[in-house]
Amino acid sequence: MRLFDIIPTNFFSILSSKNKEVYAMALEVLYKSLETEEMTIKKQDFLRILKENATDLVMSLDMSEEGTEDDALANPTLPSRAAFILRRLEETGWIDVQIDPESFEEYIILPSYSIKMLACLKDINSESEAAYNSLVHSTYSELKLEDDDPDDLMYVTLLRAYENTKKLRIELVTLGHQIKIYQHRLSNLFTTNEVLANHFDDYKVRISDRLYHPLKTFDSVTRFKRPITSILQKWLRDEKTRKMLIEQSLILRKSRDYGKAEADLINMINYIQDMYEQLNGMISQIDASHSEYTKSSASKIVYFNNNDKTIKGHLETIFKAYAKANADAMAGNGSKDLRNILTSMQDALMFHEQGYIDPDSITLPIIRQYREIGEPLPIVNNFEEAGDLIMQNFLDQTRNVFTSARVLEFMERAFGDADEVRAEEIPLPDYDAFILLILATLNRNDDDCFYEVDYSDDGHVLSQGYVLPKLVFKRKEKTE
């Protein structure tokens, strides 16, 4: 079904008219009435609130813009203008007016699409004041509570975790786009005060403190990802828990298709696990955008502060004035005719390029290159020595990149809270992780290594596209 099969075609006309501020105020009053009233909104109460709280705005209504023959034109009083606003809301489909057959009292009723739009406008208007929705921590807390004490709401908790994960992805995408919007906005700021106000009064309050900071601290995906996936894997592997979830799903959906319910359960858990693996990459992109925006803001402030009064400074002032005029013209806030500025610049500045021609101008310059004498590679006759040499070269190349501290950190993440982990259980999302696994096996005899490695000669295992030996990593027992 198409959008305007549901809502009237002139639904948004009041928000694009000259009196849009008046109608926006009326919609805000309507939403507040919807929040305070239980089930009914009396028409007279709405008109009374409209007249009491927004007298100046209602009286500023430009009736000539409406293009209608109405009593409000002949009698432009406050009550007639308020009544006209209500009729316009009814004509455009925002409200309906219903008469009680017993008391003949008029009531305002709202279609479902109108209530959703009012709530959306309210959210947009109060975006900077909204509290942060801790989706990651709440998902972990609910799953942990249900895992410790399973009950009849176990499947409902899983559904909520699934919905929270989808919301979290949308929140991260929104955050990434918002940061890029602020970064793009820098190109239209031409003074130090504008850049400072944009960063500290707007970006820091609405984006950094409210959304970005929680994701890096108390609601960190990295912090709660492993506990969440561990609980879900436990539920999926445990046959008793899986059956309980499937039975609760059949009851909730009033279905008897056991196979479909089991498939939906597996898909739901796999989606949550896969999404938490992808979220780290999204957060890395957000970190890069945040860092780039912060550096750009600082660089622009330094540039404005160092702008001097020399010829170079005057030229920069002219170019900034032209850029600002051009931005205002594109936004519709200024004159679109910039020919006067360009003419003045052309009359005031005269540029010439000086050069000369000699007999060598038609030939390319000669560039001499010298071959450096290097050490020849040693000739290795023994295949075993060649293998050792190749391995040593590999270790030398990776020593600076894959340090011992990085290897130990990789293994700490692989172990998590467990005392034992198999090679095929260790996530290998990229080639660097595979190299870290190799180095973790080779460094088992280091003094600061906290684990030991058990080998098995019984074949190999295929894990995540790699053929791995059967290795078991175990934490060393702590000695007093």
For 89-131, how does the pLDDT look when each residue is reduced to its tens digit (9 = 90+)? 999 999 888 888 888 888 888 888 888 898 888 877 776 555 5
Please report the pLDDT score of residue 268 as a whole number.
92
Is the CB of residue 439 less than 8 Å from the CB of residue 398?
Answer: yes
* Residues in the chain with pLDDT values less than 70: 37-39, 54, 63-75, 127-132, 307-315, 318, 331-353, 361, 364-370, 377-389, 391, 394-400, 457, 478-480
Instruction: Select from 129, 123, 312 the least CA-distant residue to 210.
Output: 129
Cβ within 8 Å of residue 171, ≥6 positions away: 133, 135, 211
So what's the pLDDT on residue 82?
83
CB atoms within 10 A of CB 445: 8
Token pair for 293: 């925006």
Q: What are phi and psi of 479, to 5 degrees?
A: -105, 140
pLDDT of amino acid 355: 73
CA distance 402 to 385: 24
Nearest to 412 by CA among 431, 398, 404: 404
Backbone angles phi, psi at 468, to 5 degrees: -115, 145
Helix (H, G, I), strand (E, B) or coil at 158: helix
Alpha-carbon torsion (352, 356, 357, 361), positive or negative: negative
CA distances from 220 to 209, 349, 393, 412, 459 (A): 14, 56, 39, 18, 40
Strand order in the sheet with 451-463: 420-422, 466-475, 451-463
pLDDT value of position 170 = 87
Measured CA to CA, the distance from residue 67 to residue 214 in angstroms comes to 50
Which pLDDT score is estimated for 165?
Answer: 92
Q: How far apart are CA 210 and CA 195, in angstroms?
A: 20
**Of 325, 343, 321, 342, which is closest to residue 334 (Cα–Cα)?**
325
Q: Which two tokens stand for residue 379?
A: 């000739």
| Residue 195: half-sphere exposure toward Cβ, Cα within 13 Å | 21
**Residue position matching structure tokens 């559904």:** 159
**Residue 32 CA, distance from chain mean position:** 30
A 10 A CB-CB count for 411 gives 21
State residue 337's pLDDT score.
58
Cβ neighbors of 125 (< 8 A, separation 6 or more) are 28
The answer to whether 95 and 89 have CB atoms below 8 angstroms apart is yes
CA atoms of 25 and 27, how far apart (whole Å): 5
